[in-house]
Amino acid sequence: MRIFTIVLMLVMSTAVLAQDCLLGNTQNVVSFEAGWLAEGVAYAQLTDPVTACACDHGFAVDEVRISLVLDTGATVRLIAQLLKVNDVADCDVPGQVLATSDERLVDGITAHGLYEIAIPCDFQCALMADSYFLSVTIQEASGGVELPFTGGTTGVPDKQVPGDPCTSYRNPGTGWEDLIGAGFGGGLPILAASTCCFDPIGDDLDTWGRVKRIYY
């Protein structure tokens, strides 16, 4: 295990976005252990918008961010998704995909360090009242890429905090596995910059255009 005494935080984004709130795990990275990141694996972190946003109706994810430890010359390709929450035996588990980003390529890394990578998203307006999972899939990782973990709590009432079971998951293609139960050291460093919006479409996967045709 490595403990970070000096954190190098670089936001890999082409634009500075206006945001109304940050969803997901906003706690600081404290350490990492090698071997937790793999290609073709999706990672998902629980989020509860009501506790993080003051939006009246809905929120729209503009970018999903994940912190990774990158070596000099590392390359990583990622996509982000918003997932529905399923209740399985009183445990929040990632469910169906509600929205997916385009692929993000990060390369040209010139120094080893902790990087916050921003994945641009154009997700539809989602309901504030529901909980969700923010997911990042590592499509390619080469040249030295590791997955750190966070400490602390989120202060989310009536919800587990990062580092508790039923909050952080991985899926190598065979189903979702609770990372905490598997021995991961804390919460996944995944969050989302979001803006308030109106007319949320919920989790029925219909486009807003179809909803308008139904109700008007």
pLDDT tens for 80-139 read 999 999 999 889 999 999 999 999 999 999 999 999 999 999 999 999 999 999 999 999
Separation between Cα atoms, residue 184 and residue 169, nearest integer Å:
10
Confidence at 18, pLDDT banded by 50, 70, 90? low
What's the number of CA atoms in the CB half-sphere (13 Å) around residue 187?
A: 26
Radius of gyration of the chain measured on its C-alpha atoms: 17
Strand 168-171 to 41-47 pairing: antiparallel
Nearest to 22 by CA among 44, 69, 54: 54
CA atoms of 94 and 141, how far apart (whole Å): 23
Alpha carbon distance, N-terminus to C-terminus of the chain: 57
Task: Give pLDDT tens digits for 183-202.
Answer: 998 899 999 999 999 877 65
Contact 29, 148 (CB under 8 A): yes
Range 15-22 average pLDDT? 68
The residue-averaged pLDDT of 35-62 equals 94
- Token output for 105: 């390529």
Predicted local confidence at residue 199, as pLDDT = 77
Digit-coded pLDDT (tens) for 74-92: 999 999 999 999 999 889 9
**What's the pLDDT tens digit per position in 137-193?**
999 999 999 999 998 544 444 555 666 889 999 999 999 999 988 999 889 999 999
CA 197 to chain centre: 20
pLDDT of residue 160: 57
pLDDT above 60: residue 11: no
Taken in order 155, 169, 191, 11, the sign of the CA dihedral is: positive
Q: What is the value of pTM for the model shown?
A: 0.84
Residue with token string 């990774």 = 68
Please give the pLDDT value at position 20. Answer: 87
The domain locations on the chain are 2-215
Give the model's pLDDT for residue 165.
Answer: 87
Please report the pLDDT score of residue 68 as a whole number: 96
Give the per-residue pLDDT at 164.
Answer: 81
pLDDT of residue 19: 78
Cα distance between residue 32 and residue 37, in whole Å: 10
- Whether 208 has a pLDDT exceeding 50, the answer reads no
